Amino acid sequence: MRQMRKKTIAAMLACAMAVSLTGCGFGGQKTTATAASAGTEQSQDMADGKKKLAVGLYGGLDSLNPWTSGRITKDMVTYTLYETLASCQSGSADLEPILMKDYEKVDDVTFDVTIYDNIKDAAGNPVTASDVVFSFNQYNKNWATVVEEALVKDEYTVELKLNTAAAGAFEYIVCKVPIATEKSYNDSPDQFATTSCGTMPYTVSNYVAGTSITLEKTDSYWQTDELAYPGSAANADIIEFNILEEATQLALAIEKGDIQVAMFIQPSMLDEVAAKDGIEIYGVPSSEDRGIMFCMTEDSPFYDNLELRQAVLYAIDNESVAEACGYGYAEPSKVTCGSKELTIGYDPSWESSPYAYDTDKARELLAKAGYGEGGLHLRLLANNNGTITTMWQIIQANLLDVGIDAELNVCEGTTYGAYRDGTSGQYEMAYAGPGNSGYATQDLWNTLFNRKNYDSGRTWAGLLDDKLQSLYDTLASADGYTQENVNAFYDYITDNAYYYEIYSMPDYAAYNSAKVTGFYTDWNRFIRVNTIELAD
């Protein structure tokens, strides 16, 4: 992988999770930037005596609703407005309380969570157990979840009953779900689509769809004493998120000083931005597993046809994909799925480059699968992220090269999310992009292969495989997350060509070192925007 031409602060995130079978898939640390002289002129980050932080986000948001699906950039906004029950430090299973005062493990799948009795949202509404239950129910409508049921036990105690005893499941979910009051949600004119009312010390003061989101610091915050969680700091009086749909717009904005922080810089622009004086690049291992899945319903050509799935995988030149998508900052994957830095239980023995690019083998397997030249038509489904679209364009060309006709359907976020379920009938191959941090039963394999998550009773891609589910259930049982079980599951999905990671690449932010002096990094949410410290 190419080295940055300028120094990269905290290369690959010093707080990244240790690879072990103990620990938690979250992490946080304070980063102090080495700032250049800010000069004596009136800075644009001051507005009427208030400190203003301008942040550029690459890509739009469908809604500000904290519980609906969205891109990772949406998390930058969501977690600046809403708190979760807890957070967790890297390499540790010890939870860091935020809204949660304490918890008790009742049995393998049941936990009683007690919240503080003085929590209020931005409108002054008290947060009680019923609001926590409400928030979890809202989240569960939109995501595959480990929560079977959330119940009110008393005014400030919630019973969380999980559908799994998998290691880390409780820690994951209490660090993930944004909490808001049911009253504020009902009082909102659009159910938080363009407004907000969380427990963080910021609210939305202006929202221009597709253009900008302005947050202002509230006069009061429920934590009046020293912060229990550093990720809840409020270091700027005004935070303005600028939505920039073009990679060149984001790069130009940070170079010109129109914004102080840019998230994320597209790889095509990294060299240019890194070469600019006063701009620092900050990289973290990507929490998104950049892989593809096959539709596995009975009417799909991939159903019960292993040789066809293997033929397609051998046809993909993932080195070319990594080069085209990463501009020297990406690597072709050597594994079926998982992250060496982030996935607990990752085994270096997986790095065997299964299904390495081989067009002769692809054509041979294609013939064995029953398809001649031009005899197969595939629909490829992608979101409208430029890098992912580039990936699919190369795969499309690879498939055409071995005699497979392929068409590419690039969709907006909401449409893409609806189509990605294998039972939608909208694709034969789709970009998946699940999270790959922590225990694989928290996100990666839970999202891709645990059919208990989906109303269809099938996996995300529409697969019915009893052995696969049995292997997952063993892995997700109490004390079942062992290296032996992890490897058995990995080998099964690899041998059956159920999923394929194409390439890996860090995510990169850029910041103005004359303006930004420090920030808190939460692994699961990249940089906590509200913690960014600005020079005087």
Closest CA to 401 of 389, 393, 409: 393
- Measure CA of the first residue to CA of the last residue in the chain; give whole Å: 37
- pLDDT given for residue 189 in this prediction: 94
Asked whether the predicted pLDDT for residue 355 surpasses 80, the reply is yes
Closest among 132, 67, 83, 137 to 103, alpha carbons compared? 132
pLDDT digits (tens, 9 = 90+) for 61-98: 878 999 986 677 888 899 999 999 998 765 445 788 99
Lowest mean pLDDT among 228-232, 316-320, 512-516: 228-232
Distance between CA atoms of 137 and 135, rounded to whole angstroms? Answer: 5
C-beta separation of 379 from 428 below 8 A: yes
Lowest mean pLDDT among 31-35, 172-176, 383-387: 31-35
Beta strand ranges found along 289-440 (DSSP E): 291-294, 331-332, 343-344, 377-383, 405-411, 429-431, 438-439
pLDDT score for 22: 33
Q: What is the DSSP string of 477-489?
A: STT---HHHHHHH
CB atoms within 10 A of CB 528: 22
Q: Considering only 43-52, 101-110, 252-261, which range has the smallest mean pLDDT?
A: 43-52
Query: Quick one: which of 431, 365, 354 has its CA closest to 393?
Result: 431
CB 332 within 8 A of CB 503: yes
User: Smallest Cα–Cα separation from 303: which of 422, 468, 416, 400?
Assistant: 422
Q: Give residue-wise pLDDT tens across range 119-133.
A: 999 999 999 999 999
In eight-state DSSP terms, residue 39 is -
Residues contacting residue 28 through CB under 8 Å, at least 6 positions apart: 15, 87, 89, 90, 96, 230, 231, 520, 521, 522, 523
Q: Which DSSP state fits 190?
A: T
Distance CA 172, CA 177 (A): 9
pLDDT digits (tens, 9 = 90+) for 456-511: 999 999 999 999 999 999 999 999 999 999 999 999 999 999 999 999 999 899 99
Quote the pLDDT of residue 354.
Answer: 96
Contact partners, residue 367, CB within 8 Å, separation at least 6: none
**C-alpha dihedral over 507, 513, 519, 522, to 10 degrees?**
10
Q: What is the mean pLDDT of residues 517-526?
A: 75
Question: pLDDT tens digits for 482-493?
Answer: 999 999 999 999
Query: Which of 58-62, 87-91, 403-407, 409-413 is the most confident on average?
Result: 403-407
- Burial track 224-256 (b if 16+ CB lie within 10 A, e otherwise): eeeeebebbbbbbbbbbbbbbeebebbbbbbbe
* Predicted confidence (pLDDT) at residue 523 exceeds the cutoff of 70: no
Domains along the chain with CATH numbers: 13-285+507-534 (3.40.190.10), 291-504 (3.10.105.10)
What's the pLDDT score for residue 33? 61
